[in-house]
Amino acid sequence: DAGVTQSPTHLIKTRGQHVTLRCSPISGHKSVSWYQQVLGQGPQFIFQYYEKEERGRGNFPDRFSARQFPNYSSELNVNALLLGDSALYLCASSPGMQGYEQYFGPGTRLTVT
């Protein structure tokens, strides 16, 4: 079975630009979560979506937004990019919300110059 897939693998953007990252969950999983992992640090929670609704949000500015589609895939959008947004963005899917393990994708490496 296919695992969690993310696209693109790598991305280079300029300060002030906008970026969209995409995630396809494992078949049958209805929850998708997004994380930011800066080099050398642990992942930081950004959003969790379940059944197309936002169910949790981390401490990130409003420049970060996301949505989940009817097929449970998800997009993470970041506006007005800053140098500090350079990181590995991880997507994880799970069958449900509370108490379910999350399965992680390989991530999208975003570099902001």
Partner 1 sequence: SNSVKQTGQITVSEGASVTMNCTYTSTGYPTLFWYVEYPSKPLQLLQRETMENSKNFGGGNIKDKNSPIVKYSVQVSDSAVYYCLLGGCRNRDDKIIFGKGTRLHILP
Binding site for partner 1 (CB under 8 A): 3-4, 33, 35, 41-45, 48, 55-59, 90, 92, 97-107
CB of 30 to partner 1, least distance (A): 15
Compute the distance between CA of residue 14 and CA of residue 34 in angstroms, rounded to an integer. 22
> Based on CB atoms, which residue is closest to partner 1, 34 or 72?
34
Give the integer Cα–Cα distance in Å for 74 and 70. 9
- Angle made by CA atoms 26, 49, 94, in degrees to the nearest 5: 30
CB of residue 34 to partner 1, shortest distance in Å: 10
